[in-house]
Amino acid sequence: MSTPFSDKTTSIAELSAQVRAFNLDRDWSRYHSPRNLAMAISVEAAELLELYLWSSDDGPQPPVASRRPKVAEEAADVMICLLNLCQAAEIDLAAAVQAKLRRNAEKYPVQASRGRLEKSTEL
């Protein structure tokens, strides 16, 4: 990883390739079944959520300043597990996101849902 990555310049394909190479170097792909990776996403998401545990809605987020650097680490862990899952399950993540946004646009038309918190069935 000689060139620094950035959200503005790095594609999902580039991230996925880096993750794939990392796993291949360590022979970890054999452990990456979709089932195990789905569980890993949940575990990593819970570790991210734990950093915000006991935050008050109007207080600092996360509530302890020393946890702030861990937020990026845990978010990265979630993304790495998600990229691994997409590879194992042969999911084109960008296409899946685009398709989901189209379905959500139908479920949540702007005029009915703007500024509202209800689920589509409650609008």
Domains of the chain listed by start with CATH number: 12-91 (1.10.287.1080), 92-123 (no CATH)
At residue 2, the pLDDT reads: 61
Where do the H-state alpha helices sit in 1-123? 12-26, 34-50, 68-88, 93-107, 110-113
- Give the pTM: 0.89
First-to-last alpha carbon distance for the chain, in angstroms, is: 47
**Averaged pLDDT for residues 3-16:** 93
**Averaged pLDDT for residues 25-47:** 97
Has residue 36 got a pLDDT over 60? yes
At residue 3, the pLDDT reads: 75
Question: What is the tens place of the pLDDT at every residue in 76-105?
Answer: 999 999 999 999 999 999 999 999 999 999
What φ, ψ does residue 109 adopt, rounded to 5°?
-60, 145
